[in-house]
Every structure is written in C-alpha cells, then in structure tokens.
Amino acid sequence: MSTASTSADRRPFPLRRTSSTASSWSRSSSRSPSPPASSSRGRTYTPKPFDIPVYFYPSGIYSLSAIAIRAFLLGTTFASSFLLAYLLRSTYPQLPLFVTALSLFHFLEFWTTAEYNTRKAKVSSYLLTNNGMAYNLAHTAAFTEGLLEWLVWGRGEGWKGEWASGRLWIVGVVLILGGQVARSLAMVHAGTNFSHLVAYRKEEGHVLVKSGIFRYLRHPSYFGFFWWGLGTQIMLGNPVCFVGYTLVLWKFFSHRIRGEEELLVEFFEDEYLEYRARTRTFIPFIQ
C-alpha cells in the first residue's frame, strides 16, 4: 500500500475524487453507518445478537422503560419546581423548593446506587413507591400544611409571611443540603456493601466499612435522612409537621439502628463493637 493511500485512510471521513479537477473532492459514501466490526489478528467479525433478559422488559424489576420514565419525570419536576421557586421568590418559594428537594433526593437514590452499587440498581431503587403509605402521607401532609398556612397567614402581618420573608428558613436549606450530601456520601463510600433493605444474613464479600464518612459517623445514611427531613419542615415553616417528622423519624431510626446493630455485632463481632465505641450517630438520644 502506498504512503498516499495510507494517509488518506487515516482521515475520519475518506474522500473520493468526483471529477478530473484536482480540487473536486467529496465525502465517500462507501463506509457503512453501522458500528464497525471488531477485528482480531486481521480477521473481522460482527458480535452476535443476544437475548435480553426478561427482567429488563416493561414490568420487570430492572425495566429499562420504567427507569427512563422515572428519570425523565424527576428531572422535569426538579427543573419546573426550581423555576417556580424563582418566580415566587418574593412570596413563598419554600413550597416549590420542597418539591425540588424531594425530586433530587429520589433521583440521587437511584443514580448513586447505579453508579456505585450497580448490581443492586433496579426500578425500586428510586424509593418512589416502596417506602410505605406513611412516607407518602408525611410528605403530602407537609405540602398541605405549608400551602394552607400560607393561604391563611401568608399575607399582611401573618406569621407565615414573616417566616417566608425572613432568614431563619435558610437554616432548613442548610440542613437539607447537608443531609443530602451525608446520605449520598454514605452510599458512595459503602459501595456494594450498601443496601436499602436490612440484610439479615452476611453476604459474601460484605465488609465493615470504616473509611470515608463512616470514619466520622455511624449510620451516616440515617443521619443524612433524619436531618434532611427536619430541614424540609424548617424551610417550609411547618410547626405541626416539624413535630410529627421529629417524632416519627426518631422512632423509626431508633428502632432500625438498634435492630441493625444487633445483626452487625453478629456479623463482625469485636470489630463492630470496637467501631461502635468510637463513633456516634449524631441523631439526638441515639447512641
């Protein structure tokens, strides 16, 4: 093969001459738009088609269409609620910001699992429909309280209006952001050792994670969600739901941590007892 032809073949778009004029060249149509075939020692072959497992189809636990539509809806909700919060910045932006925080939380639950714990990533990893009725009712109650209190006490000298125009609600935003970061970091640093469900048996390869955020916090994912939840109610200025969230979240995590640590002691014995002795949960009254 000549040097000239070798050089031409290296061009991203091979050219062919269309007339006798030296400057008349056009892109070659000889190359197929299909993916290039793989080559090995001078031989070429095209990968054979494979059967897609049934659980990737609609209604399967790894349904690609279900994952895609949830990602689209959460992204749309995030963008539209954030825009609405900006448009309502002089009145009550906290309500759409609550929806923004919710949509980001549920998206990150799936994305972090898919990125760092891929084998366990499935449709339910979004935690949109499998958290139980109490979870859905809690967020519905929070949104309803925020809206009703704004309609009644949000104008004039109403306390809700003063709260919305003040600065204390920013404390809630800080707690939301801090809680989200802590929870996401917990999932990242735990990697394949993280699970949304309590593991009652020690799986092969399961190790006690003591690095990253786990070096400073015990149960950082619970810490993150606890303060994230309270932060949403401080941001909204919801006195009733703040009390309700505090009691329910504390009771849930108190019971969850106690049961989970019994299993962890069984799995890791002295290693976990040592780790527990030098770390804290930073959830009030849960040692």
Domain that holds residue 90: 54-277
What is the reported pLDDT for 10?
A: 41
Confidence tier at 19 by pLDDT (50, 70, 90): very low
Domain holding 264: CATH number?
A: 1.20.120
What's the domain count of the chain? 1
CB 235 within 8 A of CB 94: yes
CA distance 128 to 135: 10
Whole-number Å distance between alpha carbons of 86 and 69: 26
Q: What is the pTM of this model?
A: 0.82
What is the C-alpha to C-alpha distance for residues 231 and 223, in angstroms, rounded to an integer?
Answer: 12
How far is residue 213's CA from residue 191's CA, in Å, rounded to a whole number?
A: 12
Residue 16 reports pLDDT greater than 70: no
Residues 6+ apart with CB under 8 A from 260: 198, 219
Q: Label residue 30 by pLDDT band (50, 70, 90).
A: very low
Residue 169, in any domain of the structure? yes
Mean pLDDT of 209-229: 98
- Residue 21 placed within a domain: no
Greater confidence, 49 or 120? 120
Is 126 a domain residue? yes
> What stretches of the chain show up as alpha helix (H) in DSSP?
3-9, 64-87, 94-116, 133-153, 159-165, 169-190, 220-236, 239-268, 270-277
Please check whether residue 74 lies inside any domain of the structure.
yes
Burial of residue 167, with CB atoms counted within 10 A of its CB: 0-12 exposed, 13-18 middle, 19 or more buried: exposed
92: exposed, middle or buried (Cβ count in 10 Å: 0-12, 13-18, 19+): buried
Residue 235 CA to residue 96 CA, distance in Å, equals: 11
Domain assignment present for residue 191? The answer is yes
Q: Does 78 map to a domain?
A: yes
Is residue 3 one of the residues assigned to a domain?
A: no
| Structural domain contains residue 7 | no
